[in-house]
């Protein structure tokens, strides 16, 4: 069974804080993704990575950075959290080894509130 885990289900941070969201997958997937989900806007891609130490910007990378030092782990970093980054953050992974091509497996999400 594919498993994608995220470090926190709920997180409350103050404006200006540096925030780390961690994601770990156990299926040896090459690709990992960070999305944010907001009502009416659906899932929007922030960053993705198709290999260790590789990253590419998604549709809304501003205010975010990522790190992928190991294949199974993909971190999302909010350098200086702002209230407009209050959202649900979803991590996903995919790979050619297991599952269908392009099938993305999602973690349970982290609901981040920035006050």
Sign of CA dihedral 101, 90, 8, 49: positive
How far separated are the first and last CA of the chain, in Å rounded? 37
Does residue number 33 form part of the binding site for another protein (CB under 8 A)? yes
Classify residue 25 by its DSSP letter.
Answer: E
Residue from 81, 90, 112, 114 in contact with another protein (CB under 8 A): 90
Does residue number 93 form part of the binding site for another protein (CB under 8 A)? no
Rounded CA gap, 47 and 34, in Å?
A: 6
Q: By CB under 8 A, how many residues form the interface with another protein?
A: 26
| φ, ψ for residue 31, nearest 5 deg | -100, 135
Using the rule CB under 8 A, give the single segment among 13-21, 37-45, 63-71, 75-83 that binds another protein: 37-45
In whole angstroms, how close is the CB of 109 to another protein at the nearest point? Answer: 5
Site of interaction with another protein (CB under 8 A): 4, 31, 33, 35, 40-43, 45, 48, 50, 56, 58, 90, 92, 94, 100-109
């Amino acid at each position: 069974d594919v498993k994608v885990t995220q470090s926190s289900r709920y997180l409350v941070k103050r404006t200006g804080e540096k925030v780390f969201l961690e994601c770990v997958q156990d299926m040896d997937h090459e690709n990992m993704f960070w999305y944010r989900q907001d009502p009416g806007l659906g899932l929007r891609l922030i960053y993705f990575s198709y290999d260790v130490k590789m990253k590419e910007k998604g549709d809304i990378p501003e205010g975010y950075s990522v790190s992928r030092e190991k294949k199974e782990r993909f971190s999302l970093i909010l350098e200086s959290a702002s209230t407009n980054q209050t959202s649900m953050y979803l991590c996903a992974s995919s790979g050619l080894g297991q599952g269908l091509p392009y099938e993305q497996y999602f973690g349970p999400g982290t609901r981040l509130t920035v006050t």
